[in-house]
Amino acid sequence: MKLLLVGPYPPPHGGVSVHIAEMKRRAASLGIPCRVLNTDRNAELSPHYIPVRRAGGFLFSLVKHALRGWTIHIHTNGHNVRSWLVALAGGLAGRLGPGSILTLHSGKLPDYVEAKRKRRWLAFLTCRTFKQITCVSSRLRQTVEALGVPGPRIKVSPAFGGVTELSTRWVLSPNFEKWFERHHPVFSITASNRPEYGVELFIEAVSGLLREHRNAGCLLIGLGDEAKAIRNLIEQRNLTRCVLMLGDVPHEECLHLISRSAAFVRPTFTDGDSISVRESLALGIPVIASDAVARPEGTVLFETGNPDDLMKKMECVLEGSLQNSAR
């Protein structure tokens, strides 16, 4: 078997890109020939993947690999037209070779597909071209089945299932270490500059928490200079000293930072199956997440969109940690 993974690849580091990088690493460890066709059009040249610049080059690469016996595995979010067109191209190209697999990742997919008949038609047409469809959550599976795709062709597999190693080895700069010395407890989140990640809600909860925990600190992993509205909000709330916007960081650094946190927070308004939630739990770090979707066992849930409830759950986690440390 030869495997062509199609989707985003780090950097930047995100749920889908980290999953693909881990699948590539795992395939190599098993001796399976594996390549990545990087769908991030801004990706720089790299020996780790095949970059895509134009639609013509993307289609040519898909067809070439299929004709040469490569199984095409598409990873996409499914919440915009481009993602479905990419998937459709991969599914059709796969018919020229051994076949193709589709993995759907985004929690926004159901609402997107169900909103318009044309979207449902495109999604159904696309799914029909694949031998196997993997959904990262049961809700996504229900959406795909509702399109008319036969159940036996669909399986549910959390994205975390492909992650075999969680390395937290990382050396922080002396200034960053001093920041950790000044701030306790520390909460961390991973986010993108999109409203569904609930960063504003998290900042509002933190503002209330600081009344009792003045030395608390917060790490916004994945958010950098591009998130100007978030930075302005932090400044307006006088949180600059305790909230760090770290931008994109390597996966091992992200795991290191989570491992040093009092809790990992997932304040999203919707989700697929968050790798960072499962990684945090695997590291033994408490997780506080919205109840927007089903969460893994052990997750502390708060009411989606409710900053007061999030703050209360953060306080509860801290109280539990203090009680455990006193025993």
**Mean pLDDT of the region 77-105:** 96
Residues 200, 64 share a domain: no
Identify the pLDDT of residue 160. 67
**Of the candidates 71, 73, 57, the residue with the CA atom closest to the CA atom of residue 6:** 73
**Residue in the structure block whose two tokens are 């979707």:** 293
Q: How far is CA 118 from CA 81, 83, 108, 122, 149, in A?
A: 10, 14, 17, 6, 16
Residues 187, 147 share a domain: no
Evaluate the CA torsion angle 217, 220, 224, 226 in order and state its sign: negative
Torsion angle of the four alpha carbons 283, 285, 155, 31, in this order, in degrees rounded to the nearest 10: -20
Show the DSSP H helices in 169-306 as ranges: 174-182, 199-209, 228-236, 251-259, 275-282
Identify the pLDDT of residue 163. 52
Residues 124, 201 share a domain: no
Inform me whether the pLDDT recorded for 132 exceeds 90: yes
User: pLDDT, tens digit, for every residue of 275-285?
Assistant: 999 999 999 99
User: pLDDT, tens digit, for every residue of 111-124?
Assistant: 999 999 999 999 99
Residue ranges making up the domain that contains 119? 2-162
Tokens representing 284? 């033994």
For the chain, percent of residues with pLDDT exceeding 90: 85
Q: Is residue 167 part of a domain?
A: no
Domain count for the chain, please give it.
Answer: 2
Q: Is residue 85 part of a domain?
A: yes
User: 312 CB contacts (<8 Å, ≥6 apart)?
Assistant: 302
Lowest mean pLDDT across 37-51, 76-90, 310-324: 310-324
Q: Name the domain boundary from 106, 140, 162.
A: 162
Lowest mean pLDDT across 95-104, 171-180, 306-315: 171-180
For residue 211, the one-letter residue type is R
For 73-95, b where at least 16 C-beta lie within 10 A, e where not — what string? bbbbbbbeeebbebbbbbbbbbe
Q: Is residue 169 part of a domain?
A: no
Domain harbouring 245, CATH code: 3.40.50.2000
Taking each helix axis from N to C end, the angle separating 81-94 and 117-128, rounded to the nearest 10 degrees, works out to 20
- pLDDT band (50, 70, 90) for residue 326: very low
Identify the pLDDT of residue 161. 52
User: pLDDT, tens digit, for every residue of 52-66?
Assistant: 989 999 999 999 999
Identify the pLDDT of residue 187. 97
Q: Average per-residue pLDDT in the chain?
A: 92
Dist. CA 133–CA 117, nearest whole Å: 21
Inform me whether the pLDDT recorded for 85 exceeds 90: yes
